[in-house]
Structure formats: structure tokens, C-alpha cells
Amino acid sequence: MQFALDDTTLELHQGDITRLTVDAIVNAANSGLRGGGGVDGAIHRAGGPAIMAECRRIGGCPTGQAVVTGGGDLPARYVIHTVGPIWQGGGRGEPELLRSAYAASLLRAEELDVTSIAFPSISTGVYGYPIALACGIAVGTVIEHVQRGTALQHIIFCLFSAGDYAVYEKHLSNVARNP
């Protein structure tokens, strides 16, 4: 599924983010940039040791922020590592921190002068953020960024599971009908 918003195409994709040929992929990282499970582990495994070596040099990343490494052995030139919040019920600033993680990733992409980027669903795996709530924040933050003007021509939301894809598909269908 995809639709145009200004000069940018928003696309929904189900599959493995490490296989996408885009300028940058976003990693749902932990604050120590140590690799881990889920999408973080998949990116480190597919990208090889060069990504971890750069992460060690960087040292860490606070929740809601983003840092950049090269793509290593990935088809993407860059990995933008962002740290989303751990879900604690929604009353501890989680929505703002998640919005900040997406916004910081988009800012890093603009600084890199890339035209295509792929996002996983940040914080919805082991960090436990409810997918329906996270989806609204993700899509809303990206749309706000595009509407302010961007060099990004192609933004992909890459979901690994069919269930997560269905949540994003429903949300994006509503957005496409009611821009």
C-alpha cells in the first residue's frame, strides 16, 4: 500500500527491513547501542561487525534521540539508531518520547541528505508499546514532517508481522481518505 503526500510517497511494506534498498533504515535500538533482539538484532546480524564497531565508538543514545552509523553489509547506506520508550502505561511521557524518536530520526535523515528511509515500528516489540497507539504517533509524526517540507521522497513503514501490518494498513487507509 502506498500514497502520495506532497512530493513524498508513503509506503507500507511487510517484510524484513534489512533487505530494503533505501538510503537509510531506522533501528529500534537500546540506549547502550549494544544490539539486542528483534529488529535491532536483525540489523546488527545482517549489517555485520562494522555497525557494532561504530556503535561502540558512539557509546550510547538517550531515549527519544537518534544517532547514525554506516550500513555495513546492508543494502542501506546508513542506519539511524533511535531509542524509543519502554511502555509503562502511557503516563510517563511515552507518547512524547516516541514522537521524539521518530522526529529525531527524520532530522538525522535530512542531515544525511537522503531521499529514502524505512522505519520499523519503534518500541512495539519487547518495549511493549501498544501497536495501535504507536502507529498513530509514527504516522502522525512522519506526515507532520512531510507537510513542513522535506527532501525525503520515499518513506516506508516496514512491519515484520501480518498483525502489525494490518494495524498500519487500517490507519494509513483512514489517513489517505481523510488527509
Of 7, 16, 23, 40, catalytic: 40
Nearest C-alpha neighbor of 120 from the set 8, 37, 32: 37
DSSP class per residue in the chain: -EEEETTEEEEEEES-GGG--SSEEEEE--TT----SHHHHHHHHHH-HHHHHHHHHH----TT-EEEEE-TTSSSSEEEEE-PPPPSSS-SSHHHHHHHHHHHHHHHHHHHT-SEEEE--TTSSTT---HHHHHHHHHHHHHHHHHH--S--EEEEEESSHHHHHHHHHHHHHHHH--
Task: Look at residues 4, 21, 1 and name the one whose alpha carbon lies nearest to residue 13.
Answer: 1
Known active-site residue 23: no
- Amino acid making up residue 18: T
- Catalytic residue numbers read 40
